[in-house]
Structure 1
Amino acid sequence: MNSKQRLLMSDLLTPSLFDTLVVSIILMGLFGLTATAAFAQHLARTTVSGDAKTPAGKPLEFATILLLKAGDSTLVKGAAGDADGHYSIDNVMPGTYRISVTGVGYQKAFSAPFTVETGQAQVAVPTLVVQEDSRTLGEVKVTAKKPFIEQLADKTVVNVENSIVSAGGTALDVLEKAPGVLVDTQNDRISLKGRTGTLVMIDGKPTYLSAQEVVNLLRNTPSNGIQSIELISNPSAKYDAAGNAGIINIRLKRGTRNEGTSGSATVGSGYGRFPKASAGLTLNHRAGGWSLFGNYNYDYNERFGSVDARRIFGKGDSLTTVRNLGYRPSSSRNHTFKAGADYALGKRTSAGLMLNGMVSDNQARIDNSNLLYNAGGELQQNVTMVNASTRGLQRIAANVNVKHTFDTLGRNAGPRELTVDADYSYVSIDPQDNMRTRFLNAVGEEVRQPLVQRNTPPSQVTIRAGKFDYVHPLSKSAKLEAGGKISYVTSDNDARFETLVDGNYVIDPQRTNHFLYDETISAAYLNGSKDWQKWSLQGGLRMEHTRSLGNSVTLNKVVDRNYVNLFPSVFMTYTASKNHQWRTSYSRRIDRPNYQDLNPFVYVMDTYTYYQGNPFLRPQYTDAFQVGYTYKGQTTASLSYNHTTDVITGVNEQMEQIMRVTTVNLASLKNINLNVGFPLTITKWWNTRQTVDVFYNAYDAEYAGERLDYRQVSANVTSNHSFVLPHGFTAELSGFYNSPFVYGMLRLRALGQVSVGVQKTLWNKTATVRLNVSDLFQTMRPGGVINHGTTNVTFTNRFESRVARLTFTYNFGNRNIKGGGQRRSSAEEEQRRIGGGGSN
């Protein structure tokens, strides 16, 4: 799906006076509210401590300690008591909490709620007496269930692991329910808070895939293997500068890190119009200095999709309407795996090896009918195309990690830490399209010989990357962070398009192309942070040097780019009291074109539509400003302004009967977003959280000789409800609504869905049965309009959105709340930019 034609695009624009005024008003407003408290007394993070004893007055040795929010029992931190029954939890923020204590053979005990005040150094919790549990023969298993949507200071977390409505589905199903996220399955795009260009990571590491392939990967990744999804809308300089709209980080399950062996097994099935099945196994083992972990998931999925699109072109008596009716049944078999080992080399040094990957086999049959009508509405011709398509995907990624902790610099300073990562990733995409086109008149008679073609555009991408991160505390309340990274990417795309002539396939030179792409990105960053009594400040600067070389061997076209960018970021927080916190931030980010969009060859979608790549695409840049407010650590509100130049956007252009689809740089996009999220306890057994995003998108550009100044106010609303029912049952109800939305020249219609699920635990909570139904009312019918220049298109899509799923999970071995650490590797940005041809 790539191009050989040069496009003329606008030069990089600087922000306008209007942008500068908006930014100034936002920042001055926040600083004006809080300036009088700028140099208040020094803030000392609070330490919460206490003791746990048995009824006989003896210490409860090595008890499990949980610090919970008093309002909803959400887990904040975990700790372990010592041999004398004493425990201590450091760095506790102001708020109202309670302590939960338990041990092997003892019941769970809770403290009375207590409040941590701003500036308070110590809080002593009264001694807790833990009663013996005569019913417990084995260990007592302590769990703290997190809410489905968790709003933290710097990110939103979707806790998939314990969600009932997410069980048995896919990562894409879960992402559709996340606040502020819009998944456009028709065009394979993911937007966050009204902006496209998200960096999708898995366990902190890039997937090395283009937007289209990222959607395919998420569509084929079972949700049973996911722990959580993090939405980071304004990352710091420590992260790669890629991701105009922010970062979506998918955390896979890893399990516990206790001594011994533990794991879980899951099986599931589902049915919508076609059957689905899944199975997975997770294993963990820790002994001495070794920690071993691994998981494997298999997913089988049959599904369908359909489209009904109308294109109108021409004028007067030459007015023509093309109605495209498409039906696409498909099936996929996906194997995903993850394995790794961590080893403590010494008291201060640890090393780890991690391997993860995916093997996917997809098959689809695409039946397209293009009905041509004249100005009087009479059928003139029917051109049908059947595409028997296959797509194989193999992805493997390896990471080696070493972490060393140095001596502390003094009593009030924490330890210095150095982390080094080395990464290797290989992605192979092997698609093939076998197309047969028939030309029929109005009464169904063939008017010419069928056209038989095949397209084989394999793609291989290899990425090698390395990075280091160093943390240097200056005091208890100040630290410096520094790091560097280098990545080297090679991409090889060899597309062969052939037509059957007299029984032999003949290469079509206009649609065959060998494209090579090399890219090296070198980066360095410096971050500094400082805490005062009510203020905290973090600032950073990241520098990235990019050298890219795109070489169309067949067309003898070479595009050589070499550029350096600086990406500053500033974050400031003001804690007015234990219930009120304000924050503001600024960051500059970049989105580079994905490798597939740079590949200059033509991909035929049907007889009247083709995609053409653009090797002259430039990166887009975004300046992002945000102010926010948090009430009692749970209710949040934020206002952000984002200005993007050289916006990378998909466009459609009608050229007589043929529609050309390509990707270009548009001049600029302004985005203003208001986000509000709040929890609500309706009764003791019914809790809910609501999130509302209202955003305004304004494009200011020119394309095909005409102004493109689409402007739209849109909204995304999500509502998640959890219920505690009698007899050990729990239930969830979730829904979202997306109002009409604009993307470039495309105006999307509103859509939404409601999903429901119920859960029952069995066998002393070692097993769980979940039943859920997605899109209960079948309201997921994406559609939209393109009406710009000579292009006039209206379309409606349908797919198998309502699916009932039943899953069973069994947990075994030594289970505990201690979670394994998640490592971020050096491959941060390149993963989402790989693409492959084909239609799956």
Structure 2
Amino acid sequence: MKTLLLLLTTFSSLTAWGQITGRVTTPKNEAVPFANIVLLAAQDSTIVTGTATDENGNFHLNPNKTGTFLLRISSIGFRTYQSENFSFHYSSIHIPPVTLTEENNALNEVSVSAKKELIQQTPMGKVINIQSSLLTKGSNALQVLERLPGVISDRRNNQFSLNGQSGVTILFNGRRVPMSMEELMNLLESTVADNIEKIELITSPTARYDSEGGAGIINIIFKKNENEGTRLNLSATAGYGYREKALAAASLSHGFKKANLNVSYSFGHNHDYSGYKGNGTSNFPFMGGYNSTIFGGLTDRLQQVHNLNVLAEFRPTAKTSFGAELSLASGKTHNLVEIIGDRIMPDGSFLGSRGLSEGTNQRQNFISSAYLYHKLSPKAQLNLDLSYIGYANNSPNLITFRYFDRDGNNIPPTNPIFNYGNRGQSHSTIHVGVFKADYSLQVNPKTQIELGIKGSYTSNANDSNVERKVSDVWEIDPRTQSAISGQEKILAAYSQFRFLLNPKSNLHAGLRYEYWQRDITIYKDGFTIAGLFPSLLYTHTVNSKTNFNLSYNRRITRPAYTDLISNLFYNDATFVFSGNPLLKPTITNVLKAELNKNGYNMGLSLQYDMHPILRYQITANPQNDIGVSSPQNLDYQKSINLFINAPFQLASWWKITLVSTTALRRYRISYSLNPAEKTYLFQNLNFTQHITLPRNFEIEISGWQNFPFFDGANRLNGFGVVNLGIAKKLRNDKGTFQLSLPDVFQTTSYYTHIGIMTPIAFHIRSESNFKDETALYRVIKLTYSRSFGKNTRNISRSNEDEERERVRK
């Protein structure tokens, strides 16, 4: 590697006799990656040379002649920029930052707009402009994530995977949300997709990102208007499936000359139904031997959510901006679950049972932040960010059982492990404070430095208990825990360097140090880990349509607080759901190469995960008298992954995008009865079709398909969905109607074979099939949306004098 860098640097010094460098940004001071940069002769506008910006918005031109030139810069969704004439001789020129304005302005009552590409490739991953999808309207953030290429959501087990790999970190506007995945999924369900601008799928993060998330990062970016004038957006959705659905959203934005204010509110109502059924065998010593079971859980859920988002920013000078963000989410969910459990006991007798679980889940979430961006000099910038997250969840629950014989007659159970009911109370709170500071310096046209520090403190508390109804008396279950609290501290520092090796090649080298300490009251020994997490990213631009990336990352996936605490909960007499205090964090190493050409993307990666975490794996308690469903570590997982993203413009009105993920994996488990290894092939396909029809009609068809794959000791059948969206834009900007049909063929079904890969505790072998509402009932949604007002002009952080001096000699 040292020899390669030396050769590249030497070649650069020999060939770079004079360069033109610069940076392209949005009005929000965000980089514009892969913008087209064309150098034109001023005399006749003939093309001299061209290139594209890198992921940081930087560009480098190496003209082969001198003279008077001008720059033309363009990117999808932005207005084309053209500079004034300037002279170039043998010395290098650094162009001051160029700000592109979004192509969405009202001029003389005529609206001009451009729709961004749904998927844009970057060296660090993908940017999904979800507002370009017809299916976004009327959806929540979780539903949108489930439709993204490479993202798989397992609602039954409350976990995400990215490109088939578990260990995903969710960010809101670049800030990590330190919740368990179950709580985070609840928050995503209560977040309206209309308020989201785009979603970044970051699979090759640099050191300035948290090292959390072995599979990568999903960064949800919310809308932020920076135009002068007032704009009001309204949206209303009505739908029906199992029962009624409704969603109303409103957002108001106002831009001043030096400030902008954005306020949005939404209310959602959803009444749905889902469930699972299965059958299997097990050998429970406490029941006298082998028995067979038919089991299931059918859930009637009524959910109501409120969302409020406020963002304000003030720019007192062209060099300084500061602002604050506030997000409030409140949700209430009522769950009514029918629990099915029919057994053939070891002596051949039949014991049927039906349970009814009724619970109410009330959640409140509060996210706030304050930030400051200050340009210390034309080459240096300081960013400060302070945020607080608060979360509360109250979940009382009551379960009652009845037992019957083959004829349906009520009978008392003979085995004392069976009881007539459970009732529980669980109250959880999370408080998180985070401070971070980032400093960037353009040392020279070839070198950029980023330095940063971060500290966070998290406190968790859970007060819960479970009582069992024995005969007619409620008794505290001695296996339950209550009044558990914990604290987590994370301290981090990073350095990130970008080197221009030659006009077409960049090297990003970063190193992040993180110290993690977690203490939980019920455990004498805490969890402390400190380590270094390096990252390397080499990018080479062949021309404006072709580039190549090579990256290496080392990352960590820490167990969630709820993964560790051994608080027990059960809705079946033979099983409990618990945490695992012995759970280890996952360390992931990834080496990846990517090629982008003419909009096509292909990548190959090698990944090694030490102790990857799987949730809801079946083991036994130390006394071997009850089954335990808890998180467990694999010993390791090795994989070779191939990613392909291929857009096809079949006609001017018809575009298809295909995304494929193929992985060859080998893993080992030791929490089963016998250690075992498995090698298998994983395959995921994702597609989107967009069709433009006459009379302002649009159609979008999207879907995905997973082929069979393994999850620890279990195997899942292949499954997939197809979604349909139809939009009609009314004349004279009177709004848009959108019809959404999720899961057109009603195929959202997770069929799992438990214990098929290797024998597990109690020799359990079973099959279960979980179906979401869309697989059981036809779901249809109709949305009407309309915007009022207009933007007079885009707010720029540069004053008029700076505008005239953007291009200088």
Q: 1:137 to 1:714 in 2, by over 3 A?
A: closer
Matches within 5 A, 1:166-565: 166-254=136-224, 256-314=225-283, 318-374=289-345, 380-408=350-378, 415-448=379-412, 451-500=420-469, 505-531=474-500, 532-552=502-522, 557-565=523-531
**Cα pair 1:653 1:791 within 8 Å, conserved:** no
**Cα pair 1:168 1:223 within 8 Å, conserved:** yes
Equivalent residue in structure 2 for 1:714, among 682, 686, 697? 682
1 CA distance for matches of 2:650 and 2:582? 55
TM-score, normalising length from structure 2?
Answer: 0.83
Deviations 1:622-645 (A, max 9, x none): 11111111113x111111111111
1 CA distance for matches of 2:280 and 2:514? 44
CA deviation after TM superposition for structure 1 residue 608, in Å: 2.9
Deviations 1:446-490 (A, max 9, x none): 222862321111100101110100001111232100000000111
Aligned residues: 729
TM-score, normalising length from structure 1?
Answer: 0.80
1 CA distance for matches of 2:244 and 2:650? 37
Cα RMSD after superposing both structures: 3.6
CA deviation after TM superposition for structure 1 residue 148, in Å: 2.3
Q: Which residue of 2 aligns with 1:56?
A: none
Equivalent residue in structure 1 for 2:537, among 563, 571, 591? 571
Give the letter for the 1:242 counterpart: E
Give the letter for the 1:288 counterpart: K
Matched, 1:806 2:782: yes
Q: Aligned with 1:165: secondary structure? A: helix
1 CA distance for matches of 2:480 and 2:656? 54
Matches within 5 A, 1:32-181: 41-42=15-16, 44=19, 91=58, 138-181=108-151
1 CA distance for matches of 2:331 and 2:36? 38
2 CA distance for matches of 1:711 and 1:764? 59
Q: Which residue of 1 aligns with 2:694?
A: 726
2 CA distance for matches of 1:776 and 1:212? 27
Equivalent residue in structure 2 for 1:795, among 761, 765, 768? 768
CA deviation after TM superposition for structure 1 residue 558, in Å: 2.4
Q: Aligned with 1:537: secondary structure? A: strand
* Greater shift in the superposed pair: 385-394 or 753-762: 753-762
Identity, % of aligned pairs?
Answer: 26
Matched, 1:777 2:745: yes
Q: Aligned with 2:781: secondary structure? A: strand
2 CA distance for matches of 1:91 and 1:510? 59
Equivalent residue in structure 2 for 1:643, among 608, 611, 620? 608
Q: Aligned with 1:224: secondary structure? A: helix
Deviations 1:402-424 (A, max 9, x none): 1111123xxxxxx2100111111
2 CA distance for matches of 1:797 and 1:33? 57
Structure 1, gaps ≥5 residues long: 1-26, 50-66, 78-87, 112-118, 123-135, 409-414, 822-840
Q: Which residue of 2 aligns with 1:587?
A: 553
1 CA distance for matches of 2:767 and 2:14? 59
Matched, 1:679 2:669: no
CA deviation after TM superposition for structure 1 residue 192, in Å: 0.5
Q: Aligned with 2:451: secondary structure? A: strand
2 CA distance for matches of 1:356 and 1:315? 49
Matched, 1:599 2:565: yes
Deviations 1:513-552 (A, max 9, x none): 2211111111100011012222100101100112221112
Greater relative contact order, per chain length (Cα 8 Å cut-off, separation 6+): 1
Q: 1:45 to 1:677 in 2, by over 3 A?
A: farther
Q: Which residue of 2 aligns with 1:5?
A: none
**Cα pair 2:658 2:687 within 8 Å, conserved:** yes
2 CA distance for matches of 1:620 and 1:91? 35
**Cα pair 1:258 1:286 within 8 Å, conserved:** yes
1 CA distance for matches of 2:669 and 2:77? 62
1 CA distance for matches of 2:21 and 2:687? 34
Q: 1:245 to 1:711 in 2, by over 3 A?
A: same
Q: Which residue of 1 aligns with 2:41?
A: none
CA deviation after TM superposition for structure 1 residue 739, in Å: 0.9
2 CA distance for matches of 1:808 and 1:458? 38
Deviations 1:364-419 (A, max 9, x none): 1110110112579x6611122211011011000110111111123xxxxxx21001
1 CA distance for matches of 2:513 and 2:139? 40
Deviations 1:169-219 (A, max 9, x none): 222222222111111122111100111110011221222321112222223
Give the letter for the 2:119 counterpart: I
Give the letter for the 1:431 counterpart: S
Q: Which residue of 1 aligns with 2:574?
A: 608
**Cα pair 1:45 1:91 within 8 Å, conserved:** no
**Cα pair 2:73 2:80 within 8 Å, conserved:** no
Q: Which residue of 2 aligns with 1:829?
A: none
2 CA distance for matches of 1:285 and 1:700? 56
CA deviation after TM superposition for structure 1 residue 222, in Å: 2.6
Give the letter for the 1:548 counterpart: R
Structure 2, gaps ≥5 residues long: 25-30, 38-49, 63-70, 83-89, 94-105, 414-418, 798-809
Deviations 1:580-612 (A, max 9, x none): 322111111011110111112211132332112
Q: Which residue of 1 aligns with 2:594?
A: 628
1 CA distance for matches of 2:32 and 2:343? 65
**Cα pair 1:389 1:431 within 8 Å, conserved:** yes
Q: Aligned with 2:136: secondary structure? A: coil
**Cα pair 1:40 1:534 within 8 Å, conserved:** no
* Greater shift in the superposed pair: 665-674 or 212-221: 212-221
CA deviation after TM superposition for structure 1 residue 76, in Å: 7.0
1 CA distance for matches of 2:298 and 2:385? 46
**Cα pair 1:641 1:672 within 8 Å, conserved:** yes
Give the letter for the 1:148 counterpart: L
